[in-house]
Amino acid sequence: MKSFFTFFSPGAIVLFLLGCSGDPEPEPCQTPPAIVNVAIVNASCGNDNGSLQVQASGGSGALSYSLNNGSFQQSSQFSNLAAGTYTLKVRDEQGCTTEQQSAIAESSSLLASIQSSTNAGCGTSNGGVAISGTGGQGSYTYSLDGSVFQESASFSNLAAGQHTAYVKDAAGCVSSTDFSLLRGTSFDGTVKSIIEANCAVAGCHVSGTGRANFTQFSQIQNNAAAIKEKTHSKIMPPPASGKSLSAAEIAAIACWVDDGALQN
C-alpha cells in the first residue's frame, strides 16, 4: 500500500510518495531449481569410465550444470569419471543454484580362482591348470604368468613352482590369483621305502643310536632339508655302509622335500 502526501508552497506543488514498511522486496531466488534425480554409471576396473547425468526441474529459464565447482555447461551429462564423491550444481538464468553430492562406486567384482590342477611330476613339466572367473561382465579370457590372453581356461605342460593366473572380462577388468604346482612325489608311495631300506637300518637312523630316528615320520620331516642335501652329495647313506641310492631315488627325495616334505 502506498501513501501520498502533498505539500503546497508558493508557485509549486511537491508530491511525496512514501513506501509502507509492510511491503518487502521480493526475493530473487524464491523458487530455485531442484535436482530430481542423478543417473549413475559406476566405474569399473579402476578406470575413469563412470558417469553422472542430472535430472533437474524448476528455476527460471534454461538450466546449466557444474561438477565440483567447475564451469557451468548446458549438458547435464558428466562422463569419464573415476570412482569417488562429486558435487553437482544446477543454475537457472537468474543465477539461482542448488547442489547435491553423488557418489560413483567401483563396480567390478571380478574374481579369478583355480578350478583344478595336476602335478608337474618329478623333473618333468607335465603340470596343468584350469582357471575360473566369476563376478565380471560378459565373457572371459585367460592368461598364465603374463602370457597373451586366450579363450581357453586350460593350460598344460607346466613346471612345478609358483604361477599366477589371470582372468579378464568383457569390460577389460583383470583379476589374478597366485598358486603353486607340486611335483607330486608321495612319501608313502616312494620316499618311505627308500629311507627304510637305506637309512632306518640297524646302527644308523634308528632308536638308541643317538641319531634322528627315521622310523618316525616327524623325525624324517624335521630333517628333510638335511636328507636332501646329504643324499644329493651322496654321503647318505655313507659309502662305508655298502648302500647307495640311484639317481632316480635321489631325485625322488629332492622332489618330495621341494614340495614341502608332506605326509602324503
Cβ burial of 97 (10 Å; 0-12, 13-18, 19+) is: middle
Is residue 110 a contact partner of residue 133, using CB atoms and an 8 Å limit? yes
Here the cell at position 150 is: 586366450
pTM: 0.65
Here the cell at position 132 is: 575360473
Instruction: Show pLDDT as tens, one digit a residue, over the chain (264 residues).
Output: 444 444 444 444 433 334 444 555 556 788 899 999 999 999 888 789 899 999 999 999 999 999 999 999 999 999 999 999 999 999 999 999 999 999 999 877 899 999 999 999 999 999 999 999 998 888 999 999 999 999 999 999 999 999 999 999 988 889 999 999 999 999 999 999 999 999 999 989 999 989 999 999 999 999 999 999 999 999 999 998 899 999 999 999 999 999 999 999
Three-class secondary structure assignment of the chain:
CEEEEEEEECCEEEEEEEECCCCCCCCCCCCCEEEEEEEEECECCCCCCEEEEEEEEECCCCCEEEECCCCCECCCEEEEECCEEEEEEEECCCCCEEEEEEEECECCCCEEEEEEEECCCCCCCCEEEEEEEECCCCCCEEEECCCCCECCCEEEEECCEEEEEEEECCCCCEEEEEEEECCCCCHHHHHHHHHHHHCCCCCCCCCCCCCCCCCCHHHHHHCHHHHHHHHHCCCCCCHHHCCCCCHHHHHHHHHHHHCCCCCC
Domains and CATH numbers, the chain: 1-107 (2.60.40.1080), 111-181 (2.60.40), 187-258 (no CATH)
User: What pLDDT score was predicted for residue 30?
Assistant: 84
